[in-house]
Structure 1
Amino acid sequence: MSATILFWAGNSIAGRAMVGVVPPMALVFWRWVLALAIVTAVAWRQVRDDRAELVRRWRTVLALAATGVASFGALLYVGLQRTTALNSLVVQAAIPPLIMLFAWLGLRERTGRWQIAGMVLSLLGVLVVLSRGRPWDLLHLGLNGGDAVILVGVVLYAVYSLILRRRPAVHPMSLLWATFAAAVVLLAPFYVAELAAGARMALTLPALLGVGYVAVFPSFLAYLFFNRGVELVGSARAAQYLHLQPVFGAVLAVLLLGEAFHLFHAAGLVLIGAGIVVAARGEKAA
């Protein structure tokens, strides 16, 4: 699970490092094309066996691909054109409290006062980072465009996590293959539009390494490790590892990209961490 979160944190680092090297639509399109090729090579038997169920549940598969695979990746890479990897990672820390919020609002899941308090604290921490420690700027729409784009992707990923609870009853690798394949189809028109606008990926070593990294590590291996981790420790314990992402990412962003760690980043992480502790107290009390 720790390796999974490290790979996912590295996705934002790679996305930021590829700015000016690989256009965002090219990066997300070829990421999923290569990941799909890897999954096809290792899981074609499971896909063959589960084909009927995947076809029957095609609407759910399409919704999963649209929210959590195609849109989230595309919006993350587009947003990273205009913001730092550090900011993107702290914004992504809003995913767990947003899942709780949507489950409470949409699925009527029981949520205690401690969980609500923790959710509010975590979201407040994200707002502190979004506003660069000046929350009053949000009243005047003083929000960085890149952060706003990534925030939309985070909301969609939280929706994806809820849809995942109603996933088809198929082998996990079959579901990965189906969602990756659908994402490639959904992303193709946007990649073509990017090419038509004149954006091209240069076939240089840094570009190829960047695409290879996001295809293998945060895509194929991370999903494979996450599925296995859930089997070994359970979904509740596995979800706790998600909170390591901004921590791993902050270290990588400072060491590899030379990004500055500001006081508002620290304040945001403290608030998010406090929210996690408060919500966990509520779970124990329940």
Structure 2
Amino acid sequence: MISLRDYGPPIVALASAALFGMSMPLAKLLLGGGMDPWLLAGLLYLGAGLGLGLLHLVQRARKGAAAEAPLARGDLPWLALVVLAGGVAGPLLLMIGLTSTPASSAALLLNVEGLATMAIAWLVFKENVDRRLLLGALAILAGAVLLSWRGGPSGLGLGALAIVAACVAWGIDNNLTRKLSAADPVQITMIKGLVAGTVNLALALAHGAAAPSLPEVAGAGLVGFLGYGVSLTLFVLALRHLGSARTGAYFSLAPFIGAVLAVCLLGEPLTAQLLVAAVLMGIGLYLHLAERHEHEHVHQAMEHAHRHCHDEHHQHAHGPDDPLGEPHTHVHRHSPMTHRHPHYPDLHHRHRHAR
């Protein structure tokens, strides 16, 4: 089994899911006050982008050895695709789908995002998967589907296809964000939040949404900062260390966390449906945490920049201009190396596997 100290990345992914899950019942409270859903989406994303923008300014003012690597020019095409898929296409397709799809069916269909993220990671980017991980992912997804089930899916049509397309767009977003995960996660999420927030807010106002009150803006901004901004920042960090498929599986626990919070805060009933979902998700979580992936593998020579400590993968020489102390960030080169140890598909272990 991967050692206890390596449970850090799964904990980061679970924290991301927890914050996002907590935002669901809080957003429901805001919607209960009569706020337009499209407008709320814009305010949530803008809260994330603006809040992280302030945090980014603080980080730059306190720039030091432990700072994250900024986005490089070569990252910009990937960032543009990420913003287009996750910040523009996803929200737009979702809103189109919601106009003609029952809420019960829409909630069920939104679970396609986790499936799309994992499928793209396994089939396109060739992340390793074994029977244990596949069963764990299916158990978590089954729990998420059960939580969102409100009877037979009725009225499925073009609206449902639009929601599925939105989930695929977010699955693409999640996998492409993995390409950027060596860079500053605050900067990445800030840009995504500002673009997605602006697009959603503009679309809401164009469709006649009423201007929100100042308390509504403040409430949505705070929920957006924590439930979207901090959550997605942690999601990017998890992508760096776990890869897309595992991070997507952990993130699929968010509906369960939201449902538990709804029971505690909103007085919603504790149902057999929730308890069975808890069992399924618990099984899936155990199967992922108990993962052991170990084999001899080859590290190719590579050069990149990211925040790191001097572990067995970072035994490189330093120049006079490189920062002191750990962790630190600078451009560094990896020499070819062959060894064997338990590992996740992180920045340094994105090798192909024999099938």
Gap runs ≥5 in structure 2: 1-11, 64-68, 295-355
Match of 2:212 in 1: 202
Superposed displacement of residue 253, structure 1: 0.7
Q: Does 1:171 align with 2:189?
A: no
Match of 1:253 in 2: 262
Deviations 1:146-185, CA, capped at 9 Å, x for gaps: 9987766544333222112212754333323332343345
In 2, the alpha carbon distance for the partners of 1:274 and 1:146 equals 33
Match of 2:120 in 1: 102
Q: Does structure 2 retain, via aligned residues, the 8 Å contact 1:65–1:179?
A: yes
Aligned-partner SS, 2:34: coil
Instruction: From 59, 66, 83, give the equivalent of 1:65.
Output: 83
Q: TM-score if structure 1 supplies the norm length?
A: 0.69
In 2, the alpha carbon distance for the partners of 1:108 and 1:228 equals 20
Deviates more, 1:110-119 or 1:94-103: 94-103
CA distance 1:10–1:149, shift in 2 (3 Å): farther
Match of 2:224 in 1: 215
What is the one-letter code of the residue matched to 1:177?
M
In 2, the alpha carbon distance for the partners of 1:4 and 1:126 equals 16
Aligned-partner SS, 1:18: helix
Q: Does 1:266 align with 2:275?
A: yes
Alignment of 1:38-77 (within 5 A): 38-44=51-57, 45=60, 50=70, 53-54=72-73, 56-70=74-88, 75=94
Deviates more, 1:21-30 or 1:122-131: 122-131
What is the one-letter code of the residue matched to 1:254?
V
Alignment of 1:98-137 (within 5 A): 98-132=116-150, 137=152
Q: Does 1:14 align with 2:26?
A: yes
CA distance 1:38–1:110, shift in 2 (3 Å): closer
Q: Does 1:30 align with 2:43?
A: yes
Superposed displacement of residue 241, structure 1: 5.9
Aligned-partner SS, 1:198: coil
Q: Does structure 2 retain, via aligned residues, the 8 Å contact 1:21–1:201?
A: no
Q: Does structure 1 retain, via aligned residues, the 8 Å contact 2:23–2:258?
A: no
Superposed displacement of residue 252, structure 1: 1.5
What is the one-letter code of the residue matched to 1:106?
V
CA distance 1:130–1:106, shift in 2 (3 Å): same
What is the one-letter code of the residue matched to 1:8?
F
In 1, the alpha carbon distance for the partners of 2:159 and 2:23 equals 16
Q: Does 1:191 align with 2:201?
A: yes
Instruction: From 175, 179, 188, give the equivalent of 1:162.
Output: 175
In 1, the alpha carbon distance for the partners of 2:278 and 2:166 equals 20
Q: Does structure 1 retain, via aligned residues, the 8 Å contact 2:177–2:236?
A: no
Q: Which has the larger radius of gyration?
A: 2
CA distance 1:34–1:275, shift in 2 (3 Å): closer
Q: Does 1:284 align with 2:292?
A: yes
Aligned-partner SS, 1:21: coil
In 2, the alpha carbon distance for the partners of 1:258 and 1:149 equals 33
Q: Does structure 1 retain, via aligned residues, the 8 Å contact 2:132–2:288?
A: yes
Aligned-partner SS, 2:202: helix
CA distance 1:32–1:179, shift in 2 (3 Å): same
RMSD: 4.3
Q: TM-score if structure 2 supplies the norm length?
A: 0.58
* Higher normalized contact order (CA 8 Å, seq sep 6+, divided by chain length): 1
Higher relative helix content: 1
Q: Does structure 1 retain, via aligned residues, the 8 Å contact 2:78–2:180?
A: yes
CA distance 1:16–1:66, shift in 2 (3 Å): farther
Q: Does structure 2 retain, via aligned residues, the 8 Å contact 1:62–1:182?
A: no
Deviates more, 1:168-177 or 1:19-28: 168-177
CA distance 1:39–1:118, shift in 2 (3 Å): closer
Higher relative strand content: 2
In 2, the alpha carbon distance for the partners of 1:148 and 1:267 equals 28
